[in-house]
Amino acid sequence: MAYSDALTGFNAGAARVGVTGAVRRAPLGTATPVLAADHKYSDVFKNMGYLSPDGVEISFDEDKSEFIPWQELNAIREDITKSVKKIKITLWEFTRGNAEVYFGLAKGSVKENPDTGVWSFYEDAIPNFQREQYSIDVVDGDAAMRLVVFEAQVSSRESIAIKRDEMIGLTIELSVYPAGESYEGKESRGKSTFWQFTDSWGGGNVRSTTDGSSTLAVATDALPDAAVGAAYSAQLAATGGTAPYRWAIDAGTLPAGLTLSEAGVVSGTPTAEALEDVTFRVTDKDSLIASKQIELEVTA
């Protein structure tokens, strides 16, 4: 046998790149989200928005015990006696929900002043971090992975840098715990995480941002005003990525009487005056995602 035979049998298609992804959170005990092409998250899952390009960092804090017999100087066995999984992410969206997570606030602590439209909150001297379920999606071309963390809690935070040449980020580290009583009677009880992969995760083509494809973006900057009682239709547009595109609403709601099709058409007949800020999300053929907030006004 030639020595070169030892260098065969590798599968480059199983080498993955974390091209893009998302992190969502939900209350403890929420049903495990299934990874499937037609799956849509329920409203109880809150998208934590844009993350820094560092993505998601998963690490392990572990203690070990070595067993050395009388007759030996070296260990013949080594056991892990403590293992805590850590998940580190930097949030690039300073939303009400992300503020609650980072500052350890009770749900609903960030409140709006109806007279000024300003949102505010008091920060407690000692944060009270809540345990929640998290779902982490990673996409590489037509391959996808989902990590469901049944019970996790913010265990540390990094400082906030407010500078003109840096994005303001909220960096948190989560400690993962076994699923507790909120999961009583479920298969996940006592487990820490649940990993899911598409079949293509272990093979197929590897796609990265350096393969010549252009960045996906929402090209539409503004939508024409609508009028109460008048038929309305407007097409959203995207650039880059790979067609076909699929459209959805990430945040906000359309004025009453209007709907959004998967093809990106906002249409219908408005029934009342309104001024709405709607965040539209577009997903391309390779599961790359882009979003943009656009104002839509309905006049009398």
The enclosing domain of 196 has a CATH number of 2.30.110
Question: What is the band of 284 on the pLDDT scale with cuts at 50, 70, 90?
Answer: confident
Answer whether 247's CB lies under 8 Å from 261's CB: yes
| Co-location of 144 and 233 in the same domain | no
Helix (H) and strand (E) counts for the chain?
1, 19
Out of 141, 176, 202, pick the residue that ends a domain. 202
CATH number (domain holding residue 255): 2.60.40.10
Full-prediction pTM beyond 0.85?
no
- Inside any domain, residue 289: yes
Of the residues 202, 235, 253, the one at which a domain ends: 202
SS3 200: helix
Is 233 a domain residue? Answer: yes
Work out the pLDDT band at 2, boundaries 50, 70, 90: low
Of the residues 202, 226, 243, the one at which a domain ends: 202
Selection from 223, 207, 231 nearest residue 284 by Cα: 207
Judgement on whether residues 72 and 126 belong to the same structural domain of the protein? yes
Range of the structural domain that residue 224 is part of: 217-299
**Which amino acid, one-letter code, is at 171?**
T
Torsion of CA 175, 178, 181, 187, to 10 degrees: 140
Cα separation, 194 vs 176, in Å, equals 12
> Is there a domain that residue 125 lies in?
yes
Assess if residue 212 is contained within a domain: no
Q: Enumerate the H helices of 133-268 as residue ranges.
A: none
Q: Are residues 137 and 246 in the same domain?
A: no
Same domain membership, residue 12 and residue 128 = yes
Residue 209 resides in a domain: no
User: What are the structure tokens assigned to 150, written together?
Assistant: 């049944």
C-alpha to C-alpha distance for 68 and 44, rounded to whole angstroms: 51
Is residue 231 domain-shared with residue 283, that is, in the same domain?
yes
Per-residue pLDDT at 250? 83
Q: How many whole angstroms separate alpha carbon 282 and alpha carbon 292?
A: 9
Is position 35 within any domain? yes
Question: Does 289 or 277 have the greater pLDDT score?
Answer: 277
Q: Is the domain of 136 the same as that of 13?
A: yes
Per-residue pLDDT band at 274 (split at 50, 70, 90): very high
Statement to judge: residues 52 and 179 lie in one domain: yes
pLDDT in tens, 75-130: 999 998 988 899 999 999 999 999 999 999 998 899 999 999 999 999 999 999 99
Residues 93 and 224 in one domain: no
pLDDT at 209 (0 to 100): 35
- The answer to whether position 211 is within a domain reads no
The pLDDT tens digits for 257-267 are: 999 999 999 99
Same domain, 227 and 269: yes
**250 & 160 share domain:** no
Placement of tokens 């995207």 in the chain: 238
Number of domains in the chain: 2
